[in-house]
Amino acid sequence: DAKTTQPNSMESNEEEPVHLPCNHSTISGTDYIHWYRQLPSQGPEYVIHGLTSNVNNRMASLAIAEDRKSSTLILHRATLRDAAVYYCILRDGARGQNFVFGPGTRLSVLP
């Protein structure tokens, strides 16, 4: 399985944008980039996913580098509720593999 690398932790101030990086230098052409987050005492929840083009939804934006070896999850205005562990995961769309969660990035949001 292709691996991802994320910082262990990050801090942000409330109402400011947050850029969460993810490196995936061994990504293959059929790997989709998925982001999930896990709030305290809850199961993970889907945030966003993409293949090659940048993606936007009501929760966040996903910016994918042109060579696809890295991506950035963007929270446009962080709130206290966004404090969570964020997981960047690659999943092979051709083989339908299971999701492999790494340690993720623990995001703290300061009021």
Partner 1 sequence: KAGVTQTPRYLIKTRGQQVTLSCSPISGHRSVSWYQQTPGQGLQFLFEYFSETQRNKGNFPGRFSGRQFSNSRSEMNVSTLELGDSALYLCASSRGTGNTGELFFGEGSRLTVL
| 4-43 footprint of partner 1 as x/- string (CB under 8 A) | ----------------------------x-x-x----xxx
Candidate list 58, 67, 96, 111; residue touching partner 1; CB under 8 A: 96
Of 51-90, which residues contact partner 1 (CB under 8 A)? 87
The neighbour count for residue 81, using CB atoms within 10 Å, is 8
Q: What letter would DSSP give residue 22?
A: E
The neighbour count for residue 78, using CB atoms within 10 Å, is 20
Count, residues near partner 1 per rule CB under 8 A: 23
- Lookup result for tokens 């005492």: 41
92 binds partner 1 (CB under 8 A): yes
**How many CA atoms lie within 13 Å of 67's alpha carbon, on the beta-carbon side?**
6
Question: Can you give the binding site for partner 1, defined by CB under 8 A?
Answer: 32, 34, 36, 41-46, 49, 87, 91-93, 96-104
